[in-house]
Chains A and B, each alone.
Chain A
């Protein structure tokens, strides 16, 4: 029993080490050539443009449901006017980045893991290496960069759609004035909130891309292994995003206090 646990722990450590090494290299690759600009654009298209429908629609409905939930509480105190403040703060600081992170992880970490995993089992990664291409530069770095660059943009759009959804819900359900909702929402935000909301997705983008790549490139056991890697990539990336959120929130609140 003890030996089994020790083995599992060793395995975990080895995984963390290999993951950190790969993630570190994906960024260190930028310092030297060759760089695959076209591959990065393709990935930005896939991760960024490809995730637009899911991010925009979810954002709209999340904003709407937040208004319904908070509005029903505020009505008791006759303070429905505050709805805009609450929705804006919660969305921009927390729900926008984290939900976008998890949604895109569900879509792209799995996609990356299954794509790279299939390449591994069909020896395409080996073929790439055999032809003198570094898979870390050609496959990992473009995806990680695309993740880091696209997530803040997706988050911004998600926030906007959330406010829009909130606005629609407050007009129809709480009978609030749309201009009033927007004014309160915008005024409730200060720079520290926006900074917090835009800093988090940078990290989330990095996490979801690196986890997808790591799971994909370490696939063992044929097509079944690819399936397993795909599921694991989503699970690990989502949990890591939520865990990172705790630390990032703490850091952002600290920085917000110090700087602004």
Chain B
């Protein structure tokens, strides 16, 4: 169980969360925490509840039992109106991008800023910055259907970061992409973490995504991705971004720990992800 002093500083806290539908219970009592600037990688096979976890953290679904606290607010007990306000502090990158297909790329990225009632003069530089961040500044006038799968995900990341949320949730951001494009997306996630200092939760079934996040960081001065220096004993040097893994199995947390532990593990279930 998490200790009380941790609970105050944690950005996300799940305590004994359960959720189920007509087909049965999917999560049967899940507890974990995400610390500031930490990236929690949710690993698991399809249907183990990774997406559900993210949707519950974003307040899109309610747990049937247990409590979820994000940024010091009790999300699981909010009513719909409070949730709408709460969700503005969380960026969500959907699996297929979920871009509004009748709006242009620019309008998609500007969506939340417009909803917040910002003036056009204020919106313009922020959208331009977000699109520049994902290196898609030339696509502003295009419709999502004119973009490739990887580009759509990048726009989706731009849309999530336009309002500068302190937390970003990624639902399988590399699923169905070729290795090169997947690498581009992971680099973007690295940059987002290291430039803006966001706390993140990332659902994936690709262990290499998690390893890349754990081993590398983006150096804003050199403007490139560099390997995180190791301090010899325990992997990551102090002050560096940390990455932790959470593996689900049968509705419970099966494993929680550092990437090395999975790599060195003799456990048959964990080794399946290494292939």
Q: Please report A residues at the B interface, Cβ cutoff 8 Å.
A: 34, 122-124, 126-134
Contact = CB atoms under 8 A, between A and B. Distances in A.
Nearest to A138: B115
In this complex, the member of A123, A129, A131, A132 whose beta carbon has the largest number of chain B beta carbons within 10 angstroms is A131
Interface string B46-64: 0000000001001010000
A208 B211 CA distance: 52
B60 A126 contact: yes
A126 B88 contact: no
A85 to B, nearest CB: 48
Nearest to B103: A124
A132 B112 CA distance: 8
Contacts of A34: 115
Contact of B84 (A122, A123, A126, A133): A133
Interface string B86-101: 1110101011101111
B171 to A, nearest CB: 9
Contacts of A128: 100
20 contacts: A123-B94, A124-B99, A124-B100, A124-B101, A126-B60, A127-B98, A129-B60, A130-B58, A130-B60, A130-B87, A131-B87, A131-B88, A131-B111, A132-B85, A132-B86, A132-B87, A132-B112, A133-B84, A134-B80, A134-B84
Task: Across the A-B interface, give the 5 residue pairs with the lowest CB-CB distance, nearest first.
Answer: A123-B98, A127-B98, A130-B92, A132-B88, A132-B87
Contacts of A130: 58, 60, 87, 90, 92, 94
Contacts of B85: 132
B101 to A, nearest CB: 7
Contacts of A123: 94-96, 98
Nearest to A125: B98
Contacts of B87: 129-132
Contacts of A134: 80, 84
